[in-house]
């Protein structure tokens, strides 16, 4: 039986990054993947949605051309757009496989399962689709098996008319009408895409607002933006059940609300959260502890309660984000190699690709973490940025939160063109414990959207340069 220092189960952003980092750290590594490398992110999530997002933005520009232009007639071929999306996905997933090979990571295709111990090492079985099963042993195992769309029985997901985000990314034609259940991140990203391509979109959300985990002002901004685009939004609405319509000459699907109201559409997309892939890995048999939400409990090194078994990504605590998963993978790989590192999600940026896009890092107004702190909020509008006006992208704003005394940056959130890139800059300051004055003393190239960052930060102390109505907060250089 071949033996490795580390065996990684799952080849998504947590697994493949940890495998590469193990190899970089000089460890022998084997990675087991049952489908294609890249996981949800590359195959059915971040990347394919961004292809469609980018095409939808281009389409918006064609429909609403910039000043001085008129577009007289245009066409799009959605099938060709999906072909392009597939090409991008193949290029990137193939790239991951090449990277693994270049680093001499042993690749095994199949479903991995911890099958017990072989001395001090773990025995890992690989059940391949072609029946060519194998077994290896490893001193350490990293479980990085990710998540799948959550399904509930009464929603009768048939993957044809009642679909998840997986199928929504492979539709070859635009549905005439689309009901989206769940107005979280996935629901809102798809509402933006399909409404731009011409679907009549209706969203049904259980909670009182859409994007309820975002800043309240931003959630309202998107709600208004969606309504202006004729996206119908029902909040505080509970779904009793969904059924496919395949008889009496009807097609599509019907959603029944708890109130008895029935709504029909060509397709119903269910995006109500994700389910963790933790079963069948042999974890329970090995004694690995799960928390009450079914997530694998890990310590600051991403090691579980069983020495030598690590877990990373969606199946562990923290938000289900690709970059958080990769970060987890690096922490595990370093600790296995003896480079002691503790994880810290305090500065974790994230984005939602609506149009305009949303970006956030750290704390935002309304967060429990701010309740004990004295802070001030600076704000700057895209409409006051020369670059945003030149780009004809005046919509949006950035808010920066700073500690009132130390002026340390506690968080930032905003909406507007390329905002995720601005948030990335703020995340760097926060990582190094940066203050408003650190941002001020960093020279920002002109003209760029990045100038919005110092303006927003300085506004928290009343010193934004290009603001007619500055805050009156006193500068208190602690
Ligand atoms: P989510 O948790 O973001 O949103 C689900 C929404 O569905 C919530 O607003 C919830 O109140 C609602 N809901 C739940 N049950 C419902 C029901 N029965 N009827 C109506 N509404 C119901 O989950 P989502 O959108 O599926 O995304 C899953 C994860 O994927 C997120 O946690 C996110 O971290 C990640 N993701 C991140 C992206 C990004 O960073 N850009 C993009 C897409 C996903």
- Tokens 């929603």 belong to 155
Which amino acids bring their CB within 6 angstroms of ligand 1?
A: 181-187, 189, 204-207, 212, 239, 271-274, 319-321, 350-353
For residue 185, the ligand 1 atom closest to its alpha carbon is 25
For ligand 1, atom 3, the nearest C-alpha belongs to: 184
Nearest partner of 411 among 423, 419, 420, 395, judged by Cα = 423
Quick one: which atom of ligand 1 is closest to the CA of 207? Answer: 11
Closest CA to 273 of 448, 180, 151, 145: 151
What are the structure tokens assigned to 433, written together?
Answer: 């414990």
Residue-wise pLDDT tens digits, 122-132:
999 999 877 77
For residue range 111-121, list pLDDT tens digits in order: 999 999 989 99
d(CA 275, CA 66): 42
Q: For residue 476, is pLDDT > 70?
A: no
- Name the closest-CA residue to atom 2, ligand 1: 273
Percent above pLDDT 90 for the chain: 94
pLDDT for residue 318 is more than 60: yes
Q: How far is the CA of 184 from the centre of ligand 1 (A)?
A: 4
Residue 68: how many other CB atoms lie within 10 Å: 6
Structural domains in the chain plus CATH codes: 2-148+276-336 (3.50.50.60), 153-272 (3.50.50.60), 356-475 (3.30.390.30)
Other CB atoms within 10 A of residue 399 CB = 22
pLDDT for position 246: 82
The pLDDT, as a whole number, for residue 332 is: 98
Ligand 1 centroid to Cα of residue 464, in Å, is 36
How high is the pLDDT of residue 474? Answer: 55
Alpha-carbon torsion 330, 335, 338, 342, what sign? Answer: positive
Is the pLDDT at 249 greater than 80, yes or no?
no
Residue 433, Ramachandran bin (φ over 0: left; ψ between -120 and 50: alpha; else beta): left
Contacts of 96 (CB under 8 A, 6+ apart): 11, 16, 37, 38, 42
The confidence band for 294, taking pLDDT boundaries of 50, 70 and 90, is: confident
For ligand 1, atom 12: residue with the closest CA:
182
Radius of gyration for the chain, computed over Cα atoms and rounded to the nearest angstrom: 24
Which atom, in ligand 1's list, is nearest to the CA of 152? 18
Beta-bridge partner residues of 106? 30
Average pLDDT, the chain: 96
State the CB neighbour count (10 A cutoff) for residue 360. 26
CA-closest residue to ligand 1 atom 43: 186
- In the predicted model, what is the mean pLDDT of residues 46-60? 98
Parallel/antiparallel/unpaired status of strands 253-257 and 239-244: antiparallel
CA atoms within 13 A on the CB side of 144: 41
Cα 267 off chain centre by: 24
Predicted pLDDT at 251: 86
Confidence of residue 478 (pLDDT cuts 50, 70, 90): very low
Angle at 193 between CA 234 and CA 224, to 5 degrees: 45
The residue ranking higher by pLDDT, 247 or 377, is 377
CA 202 / ligand 1 centre spacing (Å): 16
β strands within 170-328, DSSP E: 177-181, 200-204, 232-234, 239-244, 253-257, 262-265, 267-270, 274-276, 309-311
Residue minimizing CA distance to atom 28 of ligand 1:
273
395-444 pLDDT, tens digit per residue, is 999 999 999 999 999 999 999 999 999 999 999 999 999 999 999 999 99
Yes or no: say if 283 and 143 are a contact pair by the CB < 8 Å rule. yes
Active site residues: 446
Q: How confident is the model at residue 473 (pLDDT cuts 50, 70, 90)?
A: low
Q: What is the DSSP letter of 391?
A: T
Question: Who contacts 24 (Cβ-Cβ below 8 Å, separation ≥6)?
Answer: 103, 333
Q: Up-side HSE of residue 141: CA atoms within 13 Å toward CB?
A: 30
What pLDDT score was predicted for residue 472?
67
Question: Mean of the pLDDT values across residues 59-74?
Answer: 97
Please state the atom number of ligand 1 nearest to the C-alpha of residue 237.
Answer: 20
Q: Which residue lies with its CA nearest to atom 18 of ligand 1?
A: 239
Q: How far apart are CA 38 and CA 267, in angstroms?
A: 27
pLDDT at residue 228 tops 70: yes
In testing the pocket of ligand 1, which one of 186, 269, 275, 327 has its CB within 8 Å of the most ligand atoms? 186
The 10s digit of each residue's pLDDT in 321-374 is 999 999 999 999 999 999 999 999 999 999 999 999 999 999 999 999 999 999
Q: What is the pLDDT of residues 166-219, one digit of tens each?
A: 999 999 999 999 999 999 999 999 999 999 999 999 999 999 999 999 999 999
Measured in Å, residue 6 CA sits from the centre of ligand 1 at: 33
Ligand 1 centroid – CA 118 distance (Å):
41
Could you tell me the pLDDT band of residue 227, with boundaries at 50, 70 and 90?
A: very high
Give residue 471's pLDDT: 79
CB 325 within 8 A of CB 13: yes
Determine the atom of ligand 1 nearest the C-alpha atom of 184: 4
């Amino acid at each position: 039986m071949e033996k490795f220092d580390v065996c990684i189960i799952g080849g998504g952003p947590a697994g493949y990054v940890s495998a590469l980092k193990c190899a970089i750290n000089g460890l022998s590594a084997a990675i087991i993947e049952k489908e294609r490398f890249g996981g949800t992110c590359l195959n059915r999530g971040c990347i394919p949605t961004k292809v469609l997002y980018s095409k939808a933005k281009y389409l918006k520009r064609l429909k609403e051309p910039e000043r001085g232009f008129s577009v007289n007639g245009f066409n799009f071929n959605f099938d060709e757009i999906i072909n392009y999306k597939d090409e991008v996905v193949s290029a990137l997933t193939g790239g991951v496989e090449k990277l693994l090979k270049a680093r001499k990571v042993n690749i095994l295709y199949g479903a991995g399962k911890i099958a017990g111990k072989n001395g001090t090492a773990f025995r890992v079985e690989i059940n391949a689709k072609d029946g060519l099963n194998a077994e290896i042993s490893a001193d350490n195992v990293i479980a990085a098996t990710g998540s799948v769309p959550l399904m509930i029985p009464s929603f009768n997901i048939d993957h044809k008319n009642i679909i998840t985000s997986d199928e929504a990314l492979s539709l070859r034609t635009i549905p005439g009408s689309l009901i989206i259940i769940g107005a979280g991140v996935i629901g809102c990203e798809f509402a933006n895409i399909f409404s731009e391509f011409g679907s009549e979109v209706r969203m049904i959300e259980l909670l009182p607002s859409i994007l309820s985990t975002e800043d309240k002002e931003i959630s309202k901004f998107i709600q208004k933006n969606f309504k202006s685009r004729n996206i119908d939004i029902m909040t505080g609405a509970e779904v009793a059940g969904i059924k496919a319509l395949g008889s009496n000459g009807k097609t599509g699907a019907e959603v029944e609300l708890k109130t008895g109201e029935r709504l029909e559409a060509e397709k119903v997309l269910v995006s109500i959260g994700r389910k963790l892939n933790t079963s069948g890995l042999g974890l329970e048999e090995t004694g690995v502890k799960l928390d009450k939400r079914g997530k694998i409990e890990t310590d600051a090194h991403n090691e579980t309660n069983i020495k030598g078994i690590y877990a990373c990504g969606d199946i562990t605590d923290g938000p289900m984000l690709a970059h958080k998963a990769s970060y987890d993978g690096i922490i595990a790989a370093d600790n296995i190699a003896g480079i002691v590192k503790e994880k810290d999600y305090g500065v974790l940026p994230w984005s939602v690709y609506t149009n305009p896009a949303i970006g956030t890092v750290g704390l935002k107004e309304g967060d429990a973490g701010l309740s004990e702190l004295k802070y001030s909020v600076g704000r700057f509008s895209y409409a006051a940025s020369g670059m945003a006006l030149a780009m004809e992208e005046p919509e949006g704003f950035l808010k920066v939160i700073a500690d009132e005394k130390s002026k340390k940056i506690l968080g930032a959130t905003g909406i507007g063109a390329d905002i995720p890139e601005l948030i990335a800059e703020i995340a760097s300051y926060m990582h190094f414990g940066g203050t408003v004055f650190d941002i001020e003393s960093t020279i920002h190239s002109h003209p760029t959207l990045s100038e919005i960052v110092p303006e927003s930060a300085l506004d928290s102390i009343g010193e934004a340069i290009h603001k007619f109505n500055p805050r009156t907060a006193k500068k208190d250089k602690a």
